[in-house]
Amino acid sequence: MDQNTDKTKKLESSYDENPYISKTYYHTQPEKLKSNLRLLDFISPDLKNAKVLEIGCSFGGNIIPFAMENPEATVVGVDLSKVQVDEGNKIIEFLGLKNIKIHHKNILDYNEHFEQFDYIICHGVFSWVDENVQKGILKFIKKHLTKNGLAMISYNTYPGWKSLEVSKDAMKFRNKMLAKQDKDVTGKNQIAYGKGILEFLDEYSGLNKRIKDNFTYVGQKNDYYLLHEYFEVYNTPFYIYDFNELLETEGLAHVVDSYLQKSFPFLPNEILDKIENDCQSDYIGKEQYYDYLTDCQFRSSIITHKDNIKDINISRNIKIESIKALNYRGFYVKNEEGKYVIGEDREVVEDEKKTLFLETVAKHYPNTVTVEEIEKELENKLTTVEICEILLILVYQRKIEVYNNKLTVNKQEKLKISDRYRKYVEYFAETKFPVISSYGLSGINDLGLDLLRANVMLLFDGTRTDDYILEILKEKHARDEIRVDNLENNTVETILKDYVTTMRTIIEENFLNK
């Protein structure tokens, strides 16, 4: 057995023995890739009947929602872990999905020579395999990506990982020292020992604050993340400029990051002008400068054939008609002072025009809204340019949802989860320790489907009103089948009624009843 084969076997064994929960990642989804490129004037294949491949799909949690949402699409996954593939296919069979299949394969051995894919996802793989596999992935994408198709590759990046590597090296060093004392430094033991040296260095070392802060940051990560991020056989970060050179050797090119703000960060004009002066038309060079400025640790590159670059508007100057081509949605609430507080950074909106915009979008939620609809409602209050400027900033900041098609909630007195989603909810209702996460449309919202929530959602079968479901829950509470907490200021009925309303809202805003 040669060295690379041996390392591949170790990698396969690692994921068999210590699997991740298979999550849905919005920034990897075809919906997101397509809408990002539509802003840049590039039309990628329609999602409805797209062919989608995920390389390193685990249990399938990242592609199952797309397969459910697009029954006419064809979805394929490949993964090294037989344990995860077998379990993933059992879940797919339980869900009754006929348009998705997961294969236990190394992507280098994928032999469907003439099969083409419109979207190829490679998330959490590229930095964690050897150079031979990296090249193989790029060759595969070049060969199997349709003419206007898009791929997404995520990877760790420098300069951000330079400081994180101190934590990685320190943890591995301590395990090496303890192994000499015949201590068991395999599996999860190596994580516990690794965290120990981070705590020690955080308290006593004279390293700079940035590196010491990383000791805390890394030490707070959960065990399975640390195992695969810091203790795997491979972990190779890239500078984006070097990564794109790899792409170009195979006739591919980085277009934009799935997190648009990484490609178009908000920086003072003075800084942008200096970067422009150095890089001129080299947009990859500009992105490398941005990564130096932001100490970027991770990227999600949207990739296409190099020949397509000439047809893409890779620019900060997004056209109004491109913004108008998409649909938008946002849920916004005001604080006690009557001001909107938005985003993970809890931005308090002071600007009157932005407030008007948010009010208009929020009024339509959970339905999507178009620029034309906003224009009509804000006539003589905001110009089209002002609307598009506000909208684009929110898109870059991930403070508004973006969709390729218009979505409208189906309001029903007797709400019914559609057949395509019912089995999905049943999986979480019947599984105490699910291996996939529960996400709704396009992987944007976590449904949070634990046993109770999933079982209550299943009561929305089209035969019951909300009041009827409330009575069922009250009876279950009386029989001690469910527990109700926080009764100091509320009655059992009030809490259960609010819970039923919340379940209805989750179903509707994720379009599980369409």
**What's the mean pLDDT in 465-472?**
98
What's the pTM value of the predicted model, to 2 decimals? Answer: 0.91
pLDDT at 458 (0 to 100): 98
Location of each CATH 1.10.10 domain in the chain = 327-403
pLDDT at 340 (0 to 100): 96
Per the CB < 8 A criterion, the answer to whether 409 and 369 are in contact is: no
Stronger pLDDT, 505 or 485, i.e. the higher one: 505
CA 249 to chain centre: 28
Percentage helix, strand, coil for the chain under 3-state DSSP, each rounded to 5: 50, 15, 35
Per the CB < 8 A criterion, the answer to whether 407 and 69 are in contact is: no
**What's the mean pLDDT in 140-165?**
95
Report the C-alpha gap between 470 and 398 in whole angstroms.
36
Stronger pLDDT, 12 or 50, i.e. the higher one: 50
In this structure, of 11-20, 215-224, 375-384, 429-438, the range with the lowest mean pLDDT score is 11-20
Q: Minimal CA–CA distance to 284: which of 317, 327, 241, 314?
A: 241
Stronger pLDDT, 485 or 116, i.e. the higher one: 116
pLDDT at 221 (0 to 100): 78
Location of each CATH 3.40.50.150 domain in the chain = 3-158+237-311
**What's the mean pLDDT in 96-118?**
89
**What's the mean pLDDT in 399-404?**
97
Q: Minimal CA–CA distance to 443: which of 16, 17, 33?
A: 33
CATH 1.10.10 fits 327-403, yes or no: yes
Per the CB < 8 A criterion, the answer to whether 252 and 306 are in contact is: yes
Q: Minimal CA–CA distance to 207: which of 165, 238, 159?
A: 165
**What's the mean pLDDT in 394-412?**
96
| Polymer length of the chain | 514
pLDDT at 12 (0 to 100): 52
**pLDDT digit string (tens) for 404-441?**
999 999 999 999 999 989 999 999 999 999 999 999 87
Helix (H) or strand (E) holding 344: none
pLDDT at 247 (0 to 100): 99
**What's the mean pLDDT in 87-94?**
98
pLDDT at 163 (0 to 100): 85
pLDDT at 16 (0 to 100): 52
pLDDT at 61 (0 to 100): 97
**pLDDT digit string (tens) for 26-57?**
999 999 999 999 999 999 999 999 999 999 99
In this structure, of 222-226, 286-290, 323-327, 444-448, the range with the lowest mean pLDDT score is 222-226
Topology annotation, domain 3-158+237-311: Rossmann fold (3.40.50)
Q: pLDDT band at 67, cuts 50/70/90?
A: very high
**pLDDT digit string (tens) for 180-195?**
988 887 877 888 888 8
**What's the mean pLDDT in 109-132?**
90
Using the predicted structure, report yes or no on whether residue 19 has a pLDDT greater than 70. no
pLDDT at 13 (0 to 100): 52
Using the predicted structure, report yes or no on whether residue 1 has a pLDDT greater than 50. no
**What's the mean pLDDT in 146-161?**
97
pLDDT at 3 (0 to 100): 52
pLDDT at 330 (0 to 100): 97
122 Cβ contact list (under 8 Å, min separation 6): 54, 55, 56, 137, 141, 151, 152, 153, 154
